[in-house]
């Protein structure tokens, strides 16, 4: 395969891990920061802090892209992710529920299972990846990711997917508009009588049997 031939770096490594280059050191340091920010982002109970740590993680990833000479992708990452996606996420958080301070219901009950799954996945993937690419070496020639190169390949070889993607974006745009249009006519206003259907106020938990609760909720849903 010419792809592998072009890479030509599956040969046994002559470069050890113990004498890292400058780019590698920077990469690892930024990578640690990205990882730390990502962990805090999924772990913190303060919702908006989570989104802001996500900003740090994504910004760090943009730096990693720069280090991998994918310049154009890095700026796209900053423009789309930091400029739009995270702002949208923050917007969504603030429009739903984003109190200052900790929210007790940020994590669900199966946290430990999730942790287990994640650790297992991490262990498997890292073992696999390290085993497979221990000896591979990236030749970081400059200019591989400049705008002109990326643009040329995008519009020479990837035109059809590009156009398909634009259709997808249009569909997403229309979908978002349809979803977020207010349906004042469709959604009936909550009536006071319905909200107070025989709710046992201050009763013992035993009194809140499904029979007392479910008629209204099941009918409505």
Among positions 2-61, residues that touch other proteins (CB under 8 A) are: 2-4, 6-7, 9, 13, 15, 17, 21, 23-24, 27-28, 31, 34-35, 38-39, 41-42, 46-52, 54-55, 57-58, 61
The DSSP letter of residue 60 is H
CB of 179 to other proteins, least distance (A): 4
Instruction: Please pick, from the candidates 14, 19, 160, 218, the single residue that binds other proteins as defined by CB under 8 A.
Output: 218
CB of 86 to other proteins, least distance (A): 7
- The count of other CB atoms within 10 Å of the CB of residue 57 is 21
The DSSP letter of residue 45 is S
Among positions 150-189, residues that touch other proteins (CB under 8 A) are: 150, 153-154, 157-158, 161-162, 165, 168-169, 172-173, 175-176, 179-180, 187
> CA triplet 120, 122, 125: central angle to 5 degrees?
105
Instruction: Please pick, from the candidates 11, 12, 14, 105, the single residue that binds other proteins as defined by CB under 8 A.
Output: 105
CB of 143 to other proteins, least distance (A): 9
Exposed, middle or buried: residue 216 (CB in 10 Å: 0-12, 13-18, 19+)? middle
Instruction: Please pick, from the candidates 160, 185, 195, 204, the single residue that binds other proteins as defined by CB under 8 A.
Output: 195
Q: Convert residues 56-85 into a mask of x (bound to other proteins by CB under 8 A) and - (unbound).
A: -xx--x--xx-xxxxxxx-xxxxxxxxxxx
Report the C-alpha dihedral over residues 152, 154, 157, 161, rounded to 10 degrees: -160
Structure token pair of residue 36: 């730390």
Q: Given the complex with other proteins, which of 12 and 141 has the nearer CB atom?
A: 141
Q: Are 151 and 77 in contact (CB under 8 A)?
A: no
> CA triplet 90, 92, 96: central angle to 5 degrees?
120
Is 197 a binding residue for other proteins by CB under 8 A? The answer is: yes
CB of 34 to other proteins, least distance (A): 7
Among positions 118-157, residues that touch other proteins (CB under 8 A) are: 118-119, 121-122, 125-126, 128-130, 133-134, 136-141, 144-147, 149-150, 153-154, 157
Is 106 a binding residue for other proteins by CB under 8 A? The answer is: yes
Distance CA(204)–CA(167), nearest Å, equals 56
Structure token pair of residue 5: 């031939």
Q: Are 62 and 83 in contact (CB under 8 A)?
A: no
For other proteins (CB under 8 A), the number of binding residues is: 134
- The count of other CB atoms within 10 Å of the CB of residue 134 is 10
Q: Given the complex with other proteins, which of 12 and 220 has the nearer CB atom?
A: 220
Q: What is the maximum span of the chain, computed from C-alpha positions, in angstroms?
A: 78
């Amino acid at each position: 395969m010419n792809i592998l031939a072009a890479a030509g770096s599956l040969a046994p490594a002559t470069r050890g891990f113990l004498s890292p280059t400058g780019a590698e050191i920077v990469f690892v340091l930024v990578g640690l920061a990205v990882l730390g920010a990502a962990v805090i982002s999924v772990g913190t109970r303060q919702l908006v802090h989570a989104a802001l740590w996500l900003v740090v993680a994504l910004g760090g990833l943009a730096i990693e892209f720069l280090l991998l000479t994918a310049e154009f992708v890095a700026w796209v990452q900053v423009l789309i992710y930091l400029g739009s996606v995270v702002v949208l996420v923050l917007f969504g958080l603030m429009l739903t529920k984003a109190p200052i301070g900790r929210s007790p219901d940020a994590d669900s009950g199966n946290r430990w299972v999730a942790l287990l799954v994640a650790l297992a996945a991490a262990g498997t993937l890292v073992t696999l990846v390290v085993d497979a690419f221990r000896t591979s070496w990236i030749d970081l020639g400059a200019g591989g990711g400049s705008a002109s190169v990326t643009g040329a390949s995008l519009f020479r070889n990837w035109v059809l997917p590009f156009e398909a993607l634009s259709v997808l974006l249009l569909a997403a745009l229309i979908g978002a508009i349809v979803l977020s249009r207010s349906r004042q006519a469709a959604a009936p206003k909550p009536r006071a009588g319905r909200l107070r259907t025989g709710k046992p106020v201050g009763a013992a938990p035993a009194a809140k049997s499904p029979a007392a609760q479910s008629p209204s909720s099941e009918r409505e849903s």
